[in-house]
Structure 1
């Protein structure tokens, strides 16, 4: 968020003829926060809060936000990722190894590492990823096969760095992935991750433009579309919908979501082209993203209804998408004053993804609101707060 959000909020509110108190009532944002923003005592706020204010004022969310800066987030990158960031620097290739890497050898290492990526096992990825990046960079000069390997390694690296809020490094890795993409569909998969990165940074207009342009470029002929084509197009539409709903463009968000649904129906089931978990797409994925949009639109009742339609077994979306959905479910419980249920959901995520959860600011916000509303905390809640990083 830019430091000018308070000034822009003040200007738009005045043009709408609303007092601060009237805006607070219409948006559900506290009068205290609105005053602090406009007076410059607070220089930023959550994107969700900005959207609520934009809805009440009848403007796109981006009208309240200046051009975003390149900050890494609310907290510094964990030290465990310093070697990965160094491996992305221009001098990371020296010195030369005794034996040059081979395409088959790097692919073998990558295949063995994929379960670590797909299950968010950061502690085990940290030690092996720098060498994998350097070997993939060396392969880029060996021909088309080497460039394809580099594209895949860089896409996964960019995805992981986005997960852990290493935003500048993530942009670098994803740019390299796109440069080496072997074809249009692999490029679209990388662009989908780039759109997600832009969304996490609050760069909504850029995410909208990028997703819309690539969705137009890869739109398949539905009568003969392959699963890979449907996945690429569907994911770009989901990113477009996510950017639009956050920018208070609900009609455009719903239109993109309907198109994604048509791609999912054509797919018929959850399917991962080339066994690539990042491209897993189908009806369940679209349902999860529809619930995410409903949470952004402050419809916790819809979120809980949609959650009942998500199957417990079978091929599921990525763990990241599924756990992100569960955070929406926990938030829906909080907004419905079902605090025990919210804590139960957070505990479920913690058991399934203990290294993923502490990186989610959303999770800290959810548990923080539960703690604020409880007179006494159970030992379970205190343990969960320590694990997520909520100050007590």
Structure 2
């Protein structure tokens, strides 16, 4: 991957860790000659799996070797920031490094990026993903499952950052590459979310309903993965239906989703794929989301009061989105100070994520709409979420 400051970063971290180049080569399995070329800036491109090996030997995160792009991203991110990823999705990779990619290396590199996905570190992902897509494409037709998993996460990220056309490309490719029906169902779950964010409620309902029927398991024999796939599709169906003024269908779907969640006996958190995490708390948060759509703020706060949010990892697709509903409910009940406190909590936990959320801007706009002056904290919030006031 092309990184102008990689030479300086690698050299600095290596010396801080007390490694010679030869010792780092022995510890990482990366050739001494390649390490020398990287540190002397003779290599314009380096595979992500090579960086992962170096990072593991140095006991740092791969992202510590990655130069995050400069500049502040706007809504959906800076277009220049995401251009390499969008080109990579189209197969426009440029010249590849000399060393060939390996299945184990690409898989390990993707696993190493999972914390960046789950904590919404968009700037680092924008740098790391284009070369990883290139490497995955070079693996050929026999590694469809690995490529599908990567493309699914790319599609999720692009949906999250409101790059809907590129997300459609990534998710369509992921669906084509899916190796089994549960992988396909997980991708369809994200595709349904994309359709809803695009405003296609009828399309979301049709897609989620069809696939929920397709993967519906026999509860007594179902695996956690099957219940998660079915439950998420029902959640998508419910959240689209409530927005489409179909409250009965929304309630039926969320009730079935809760059946799946109860059968799981608790939250399901696959170690390698946070997008498939599901359980009773997920359903409870989505019930609160439906209540907010229906303009029932008291119901939102009642449901939220039973959710142990402090026990949940701050992830954008569940907890942080739920907290925005809580803030919105507080605004509706004229509890503006409490609403602002909730927004500040989300900002602290997910500073890059909140900048892409129109919902957060709308809520904060309501909080300050009748104020003549803003506090310093409010001005900081306005700047962070790019709200003109």
The answer to whether TM tops 0.5 is yes
Which runs of structure 2 are paired with 1:192-231 in the superposition (5 Å)? 192-231=189-228
What secondary structure sits across from 1:100 in the alignment? coil
Equivalent-residue separation in structure 1 for 2:248 and 2:317 (angstroms) = 27
Contact 1:281-1:317 at 8 Å conserved across structures: no
Q: Which runs of 5+ in 1 are unaligned?
A: 1-73
Which runs of structure 2 are paired with 1:1-392 in the superposition (5 Å)? 77-79=77-79, 80-90=81-91, 92-141=92-141, 143=142, 146-273=143-270, 275-314=272-311, 316=313, 318-392=315-389
Structure 1 runs of 4+ with >6 Å offset: none
Contact 1:278-1:318 at 8 Å conserved across structures: no
Over the aligned positions, Cα root-mean-square deviation in angstroms equals: 1.5
Deviation at 1:291, TM superposition (A): 0.2
Deviation at 1:140, TM superposition (A): 3.5
TM value normalised by structure 2 = 0.78
The count of aligned residue pairs is 315
Equivalent-residue separation in structure 2 for 1:84 and 1:167 (angstroms) = 13
Contact 1:245-1:296 at 8 Å conserved across structures: yes
Deviates more, 1:305-314 or 1:325-334: 305-314
Contact 2:314-2:349 at 8 Å conserved across structures: no
Contact 1:285-1:317 at 8 Å conserved across structures: no
Deviates more, 1:317-326 or 1:234-243: 317-326
Q: Which runs of 5+ in 2 are unaligned?
A: 1-73
Deviation at 1:102, TM superposition (A): 1.0
Contact 2:241-2:250 at 8 Å conserved across structures: yes
Deviation at 1:76, TM superposition (A): 6.6
Deviates more, 1:311-320 or 1:146-155: 311-320
TM value normalised by structure 1 = 0.78
- Residues 316 and 283 of structure 1: CA distance in aligned 2, closer, same or farther (over 3 Å): farther
Equivalent-residue separation in structure 2 for 1:184 and 1:119 (angstroms) = 28
Deviations 1:79-131 (A, max 9, x none): 311111111123x1443431221110001111111000011011211111110
Tell me what 2:64 maps to. Answer: none
Contact 1:280-1:317 at 8 Å conserved across structures: no
Equivalent-residue separation in structure 2 for 1:336 and 1:314 (angstroms) = 26
Equivalent-residue separation in structure 2 for 1:263 and 1:140 (angstroms) = 37
Equivalent-residue separation in structure 2 for 1:273 and 1:106 (angstroms) = 19
